[in-house]
Amino acid sequence: MIKGIVKKDIEILYPELSYDLNGIFFKIHRELGRYSREKQYADALERELKERSVIYAREERNIKDEYFTGNITDFVVNNCVVIELKAKKFVTKDDFYQVKRYLINLDKKLGLLVNFRDDFIKTKRILNNN
């Protein structure tokens, strides 16, 4: 064991659902490429979720924030995973904090931040430890 590193049993939240969602993201990226608009990716995701009979909510104004900024979640899947879709060159800290704020306000444990503009899909998993 490397000095200073403690080995812990790490539980992955919703492993099967996360795996399935990542497969859907890869499929959409393969079909639409990397230069479509966010709405096109969201429409494709909605179509895939419907085909698989996955329970989801799209673009609902369910953020309980006293300083409501107008942000709306892209998707909440199975009432447990928040998905935020992006189509831009770089994912920023603001994007990360946006998902984190959604998780806290909706009392969810896992958020997936997906940027379709990259050459390869790299889903960022964001946890709510509160």
The 10s digit of each residue's pLDDT in 77-129 is 999 999 999 999 999 999 999 999 999 888 999 999 999 999 999 899 999 98
Say which CATH topology domain 15-127 has: Trna Endonuclease; Chain: A, domain 1 (3.40.1350)
Q: Is the dihedral of CA 52, 116, 22, 64 positive or negative?
A: negative
Distance CA 20, CA 29 (A): 14
Q: In the chain, what are the domain boundaries?
A: 15-127
CB of 52 closer than 8 Å to CB of 68: no
pTM: 0.87
Higher pLDDT, 57 or 5: 57
Give pLDDT, residue 1.
Answer: 44
Question: CB of 77 within 8 A of CB of 25?
Answer: no
| Per-residue confidence (pLDDT) for residue 12, from 0 to 100 | 84
What pLDDT was estimated at residue 9?
60
Flag the least confident range among 24-33, 41-50, 52-61, 76-85: 52-61
Average pLDDT over residues 5-24: 83
pLDDT of residue 7: 52
Checking if the pLDDT of 15 tops 70, the result is yes
The fraction of the chain above a pLDDT of 90, given in percent, is 74
